[in-house]
Structure 1
Amino acid sequence: MITGHGDDIFQYPDVRYNFSSNVYPFGPSLRLKEHLRQCVDKIGCYPSPLAGNLVELIARKEEVTSSKVLVTSGAVEAFYLIAELFAGKRSLIFTPSFSEYEDACLRFGHCIEFRPHCEASTADYSTHDLVWICNPNNPDGAVYDTAFLCQKIKEHPATLFVVDEAYIEFTKCATSLVPLVQEHGNIVVVKSMTKRYAIPGLRLGYLMAGHKITDALKRMVMPWRINTLAIEAGIFCLQERDSEPFPVGRLLDESLRVQQDINRLKGFRVCPSSTTFFLVEGPVEASILKNRLAEEHGILIRDASNFRGLGERHFRVSVRAEDENNILINVLKQWS
């Protein structure tokens, strides 16, 4: 999907409050920006073909062997690579969820079955080659039970579980399945570095899987896909930024407050979320609300009506600082 994602700030002339993207709301650190300025001269040379130095740091952080790690150009590239590796296979996608799973599968000829999330416990996983899981789920912030996922992965060794953990640092209710990568060959865990470190413009993510899958993917990818500044940013973040406390508790408290305040507005219904983002069903079409908020108030929300399984009035909000959140709530009152 080239268009229709959040963070389409480029379409509007004066967006001051961006609630549309599930990224750490306070931006990249000043020290990271300064570090990248000092690294600019490095763009005169080719980067490492597979971002080897960054791979080693990721492996150390995640406690997996480096041969099981592949750095990608954002988490999205990981989904397309996996779909290509298993071209023509049968995929199960629970909805609503991130649209790029479907787009990647369609591009490489997968036969896709869509099931609502409420049927995850009753679905027949054995009839599918791949199952795509977003945990926490985008766009509604729903969290899968860890024991449930572990059980399904162990019960269905012939089915590959692609687990997207792009937002796992934005909740306290989900547990990473990375430890299963060491034990089971039928799981791929995908992570994003753009959300936690607020660097979506640098396009940086990674996947972890068994040797058979990562070796096959490494034979597929082009060399030098990950640019020098992205690699430098990733190394800096893992070495320096991770030493700083991530205020997930404060963000979650604010998310809960904003959810409750919006839910009190007549005509607005919030889907409860355990993350820093959540779905809202509003009183008018989300596309109309989005355009009016952007053009008249400089506020950008995510029109979520293009998520499979959602309606035309659904939109998504990712919380920001308290004063900015209050501005959003006060503007929405005008539509109540």
Structure 2
Amino acid sequence: MPLRSHGGRPPRGVLDFSTPLNPLGPPPRVAEAIRRLAVEASLSYPDYEYRRLREAIAGYYGLDPGRVVPLNGAAEALQLAVAAFKPAALVSVEPTFGDHGYTATGLGLPWVTLPLRLEGRGYRLDPALVCSLPRSLRRGSILLLSNPNNPTGSLAPARAVLEVAECMGEGVVLLDEAFIELAPGGQGCSLLGRAPGNVVVVRSLTKTLATPGLRAGFAYAEDERLARLLEAARQPWNVNTLAATVVEDALTAGAREVRAHVERARELVAVEAERLRRGLEALGLEAYESRAPFILVHHPRLRHPELQAELNRLGVHVRDASSFTYLTPRHSRVSVRTSSENRRLIEAFKAILEGART
């Protein structure tokens, strides 16, 4: 039986709403670079120091290349952080990315979960819950936090994240900002390049560039010691040559095109997320407010996996959210896609709900 549960495995020919990515797809320059370089890049080892990749990331985001740690997608950050910082425990604000519990179990680490606050139609980060943890637990732990949160779509203001970091004291905050570039208003909430010394910010280029198969991201720490520890824990060739070369080109020669493409994607998410949410609510579902390219949906009368089977039959596939801590088989996460695609999802839910009433 599979241990992990993630999106991204729809049946062939079915529209995938289970993997949140840039809804516009990859920038044209990125798609062309993948086609052009696929064979050539596969025939050589990556530069294990990733000098050009670090410089490209640093130049694009205005960072110090010496504190950039290349990642095989944002998901690699947790494994590196545990190896580098050797925490006494993992603390996570839930629901969130699902591998935290598996990592704690596999390494024999205590795992403490804190809930997001559900207030009305949205979720909220409550720094007081982190501050209420015993100091002895906070000082030796890694706190795992995503902003915007996956899967709820809630976006915490920078001041709330800074308060959490202050409460952690000597503990490390691993701040996953994988979706923040696609989040309307997200740039003002980001701590990249301005985080306290105990915070490691993680970004996913996979999500931003809509290239999930390339697996590219990075971690960044203002504290040079934390950056060096992460770098020491990184295996030498963790990012393949194709991914590194495509990202280097996208963030240097293609930087203007990429910025414009991402801005258009944010504008699309701002409009379509709310339109999709209202469309689902009009059907009698609970769709939570989101500032991310996905929406958490509660469907009290429907359960997975029966719901998934019916949706697949109608040509769409969603993320069963029951594997997220504090959620149930009556929760799904749906990605925000283009207007016509989002209408297909709404129509599929409508057909299923109408069938359930007869």
User: How does the TM-score come out when normalised to structure 2?
Assistant: 0.86
Output the CA distance in 1 between the equivalents of 2:348 and 2:325. Answer: 28
The match for 1:112 is 111
Work out whether residues 88 and 111 of structure 1, in 8 Å CA contact, stay in contact via their aligned partners in 2: no
The match for 2:17 is 19
CA offsets 1:54-89 (integer angstroms, 9 cap, x no match): 101111223221111100100011111102223351
Amino acid corresponding to residue 207 of structure 1 in structure 2? A
Output the CA distance in 1 between the equivalents of 2:347 and 2:41. Answer: 47
Aligned residues: 329
The match for 1:303 is 320
SS in 2 for 1:113: strand
- The one of 192, 200, 209 equivalent to 1:197 is 209
Output the CA distance in 1 between the equivalents of 2:27 and 2:64. Answer: 29
Amino acid corresponding to residue 244 of structure 1 in structure 2? A
Equivalent positions of 1:1-336 (< 5 A) are: 3-9=4-10, 12-15=11-14, 17-39=15-37, 40-118=39-117, 119-123=126-130, 124-125=132-133, 126=135, 127-128=137-138, 129-174=141-186, 175-181=189-195, 184-209=196-221, 210-239=223-252, 240=254, 241-245=257-261, 246-247=263-264, 248-266=266-284, 268-282=285-299, 283-294=301-312, 296-336=313-353
CA offsets 1:162-205 (integer angstroms, 9 cap, x no match): 10000101222431111334xx3211000000111000101111
SS in 2 for 1:317: strand
The runs of 5 or more residues in structure 2 that have no matched partner are 118-125, 354-358
Tell me the percent identity: 28
Measured at CA, do residues 250 and 204 of structure 1 come closer, stay the same or move farther in structure 2, by a change above 3 Å? same
* CA positional deviation for 1:257: 0.6
Work out whether residues 53 and 248 of structure 2, in 8 Å CA contact, stay in contact via their aligned partners in 1: yes
SS in 1 for 2:209: coil
CA offsets 1:73-132 (integer angstroms, 9 cap, x no match): 000111111022233512211111111233233333321111111254233253322211
User: How does the TM-score come out when normalised to structure 1?
Assistant: 0.92
Output the CA distance in 1 between the equivalents of 2:215 and 2:33. Answer: 17
* CA positional deviation for 1:2: 5.6
Work out whether residues 127 and 161 of structure 2, in 8 Å CA contact, stay in contact via their aligned partners in 1: no
Output the CA distance in 1 between the equivalents of 2:323 and 2:277. Answer: 22
The match for 2:356 is none
